[in-house]
Amino acid sequence: MKLAITTVDAFTNKAFSGNPAAICLLNDELSDDQMQTIAMEMNLSETAFVERTTEPDSFSLRWFTPSLEIDLCGHATLASAFWMVKSDWVQAGSMIRFQTRSGELRVKSDGDWIEMDFPLIPTTEDDHPFFKEDFFGLKIINSAKLKKNWIFELENADAIEACIPDFAEVKKHSEEGIIITAVGKGQFDIYSRFFGPNVGIDEDPVTGFAHCALMDYWYQKSGKNRISAYQASKRGGELNLEKREDRVIIRGHAVKVLSGVIELFQMDK
């Protein structure tokens, strides 16, 4: 059995930046173990598996890090929709309905943009039990928690860029990961970075799920329901966010960088 696989850089219009995801458009069923093994082999922050359902424009979508399956991933969703359009799995401009562990996600292409309708993730101001005043020498001016992650607001965008975390400490003192954020600079309203060693990603280049929480966090602070965001990893990525009641519209670009074939004949199903 041969499986086509494609690497797409998400939240960028320039190759070798943004966040890479491996995309498998499945014509044949794979087992959970096969999906996890492929994700481990690809060794990207996420590998996405898309499968048709019996309903028109409805697809099963699952996301795997190199070590486990996760509930929500923005950049691999954007990359999947982008590649489905380019591969003629769906028509450009049509609404794609993804059935996921986080419920139904609706995505569509709009010219060069991919627009995703995601759930807003509520955040609650709270003090972290370990990182109380600073995050590796950088002052924390506010902190908030979500279900399995924390947000630390630092003093400015320069602090976000300068941060050098000890990933062993981050792993020890978080359940999934930690988002750092600050008021942005230049054309961007906010800056952020995401560290998730407990899910197999020391630093994720661009994180859609984190911005579902950042939209809530910054809306509470500023009242703005539209935000231009930059994730300041080494690769960097740009996102446009809009709050619509309990949903977040996330818009971004994507570009294909690699296509290939995986041989599955030695894998047990």
> At residue 253, what is the residue type?
H
> At residue 226, what is the residue type?
R
- Among 205, 211, 172, 168, smallest CA distance to 190 is for 211
pTM of the model: 0.90
Q: Which tokens belong to 84? A: 């489905």
Examine residue 269 and state whether it is found in any structural domain, yes or no.
Answer: no
Q: Does position 245 have pLDDT exceeding 80, yes or no?
A: yes
- Among 168, 172, 129, smallest CA distance to 152 is for 129
The predicted-structure confidence for 38-64, as pLDDT tens digits, reads as follows 999 999 989 999 999 999 889 999 999
Examine residue 51 and state whether it is found in any structural domain, yes or no.
Answer: yes
Are 204 and 110 contained in the same domain? no
CATH classification at residue 163? 3.10.310.10
- Predicted confidence at residue 199, as pLDDT, reads 86
Residues that are catalytic: 46
Work out the average pLDDT over 249-267: 89
Are 218 and 151 contained in the same domain? yes
Overall domain count for the chain: 2
Examine residue 226 and state whether it is found in any structural domain, yes or no.
Answer: yes
Are 80 and 137 contained in the same domain? no
Task: Please give the mean pLDDT across all residues of the chain.
Answer: 95
Work out the average pLDDT over 58-85: 95
Residues of the domain holding 190 = 124-244
Residue 145 is inside which H or E element, if any? strand 138-145
Examine residue 47 and state whether it is found in any structural domain, yes or no.
Answer: yes
Q: What b-and-e string marks burial along 15-53, b requiring 16 or more CB atoms within 10 Å of the CB?
A: eebbbbbbbbbbeeebeeebbbbbbeebebbbbbbbbee
The predicted-structure confidence for 92-132, as pLDDT tens digits, reads as follows 999 999 999 999 999 999 999 999 999 999 999 999 999 99
Examine residue 188 and state whether it is found in any structural domain, yes or no.
Answer: yes
Burial class (CB in 10 A: 0-12, 13-18, 19+), 134: exposed
Share of residues in the chain with pLDDT > 70 (%): 98
